[in-house]
Amino acid sequence: MGEKPTIAISHLGCEKNRIDTEHMLGLLVKAGYGVDTNEELADYVIVNTCSFIEAAREESVRTLVELAEANKKIVITGCMAQHFQEQLLEELPEAVAVVGTGDYHKIVDVIERAEQGERVKEISAEPTYIADETTPRYRTTTEGVAYLRVAEGCDYRCAFCIIPHLRGNQRSRTIESIVAEAEQLANQGVKEIILISQITTNYGLDVYGKPQLAELLRALGKVDVPWIRMHYAYPTGLTSDVIAAIQETPNVLPYLDLPLQHSHPDILRAMNRPWQGRVNDGIIERLKTALPSAVLRTTFIVGFPGETEEHFQHLLEFTQRHEFDHVGVFTFSPEEGTPAYSLPNQVPQAVMAERRNRLMELQQPISLRKNQQEVGKIVNVLIEQENPESGELIGRSGRFSPEVDGQVYVKGVRDAALIEARLGTIVPVAIHSADAYDLYGQIVISY
């Protein structure tokens, strides 16, 4: 055997998928492969695909076609490989392998077999694997931040969602395993750990027989990391015990990402949301009372089949009433293989787009008002980018999660403070202005 081939990874999709990419990189580096960020120079390109909605698949296909045209040996991994293995192999002769969402840990073996000339299909029909703290990992996020997966897969069957089909049923890691990885990350200098899974509030149900999120948060409170953030907390799972754990654990940010999807009971029922429209005003109010400093983020789907103007008005009023800090709005994407695909009364694309715009226009002044409440405060900001030319730094406060929320632009630090404000450190910033998305401020110099 001569030199080992070089490998590049093209990453598409969500942060769950990003962790899979990072494990594949870690495993390849450990096995002695050269990993190159430049796809043009690499012998193989692994494309870690997304198949969540139509737009994501289009992006994945575009990437695959471009690489095929450049005569690359392509390894297709991730959700689209799980979803469309046969079609991909048929339509892309350049694909030397397809690897499922529960099989990325076999990547070294897959490359070795491809090198022998085999066309590799490595896809478990029912994904059951989840990496743990012993699986090599090469982080690709900014140095101060890391995602930590607490569970994989999902037991819910929402009518619009293909994820359980692509990633299998929920499987949680143990508290010990998660804490061990958190400690490794803290030792690497990570300042913010973001806990992710499909439904973080259901964490532990499969391993312990009941959700263990409160116990997990308390255990992570002993890890020396300043910020712990949770993603995807179903409101019904935010029990008084979980709320107490958030209150009692200083490094757990009071940031709640509630994937509500809609407010109207009829639409929630049609979506097969497990609580059948019980996410009422009471739950949101209870959260706000229990955690007055909480930052609330949510996502909504507009244009679900059967959504009338009246249903949409209900959602507008709900959004107006609760004044979420951040709202993401998606138009419904009909996914083959999901119940919603064949529902009657599909909403025309133009109507969906118009509803999305109306909801976002309603939310903008609310987000602006929430951000303006930060003006005059001194907030901790994790510095993530710097512009050496202008001395301007960009980071996030606890209010903002990476990728989905705003940023804090930090001005005018050319002196002693700049030395303190290295990338990946948390510094105090006096906020002097705000717009609907971002905050602007100045580092507070402590002598």
Could you tell me which residues are annotated as the binding site?
Answer: 14, 50, 79, 154, 158, 161
Those residues with Cβ within 8 angstroms of residue 381's Cβ, 6 or more apart along the chain or in another chain: 395, 396, 397, 408, 410, 426, 427, 428, 429, 441
Q: Are 304 and 331 in contact (CB under 8 A)?
A: no
Residue 356 parent element (H or E): helix 349-372
Those residues with Cβ within 8 angstroms of residue 296's Cβ, 6 or more apart along the chain or in another chain: 256, 258, 284, 287, 288, 322, 324, 325, 326
* Pairing outcome for strands 145-149 and 73-78: unpaired
Backbone angles phi, psi at 443, to 5 degrees: -65, 135
- The Cα–Cα gap between 301 and 328 comes to 9
Residue 393 parent element (H or E): strand 392-396
Q: Are 421 and 393 in contact (CB under 8 A)?
A: yes
b/e for 145-158, b at 16 or more Cβ within 10 A?
bbbbbbbbbbebeb
Residue list for the binding site for [4Fe-4S] cluster: 14, 50, 79, 154, 158, 161
User: Which one, of 165, 307, 327, lies nearest residue 259 by Cα?
Assistant: 327
Give 350-357's long-range contacts (Cβ < 8 A, gap of 24+).
Answer: 351/303, 352/302, 352/303, 355/302, 355/303, 355/307, 355/312, 355/331, 356/302, 356/303, 356/329, 356/330, 356/331
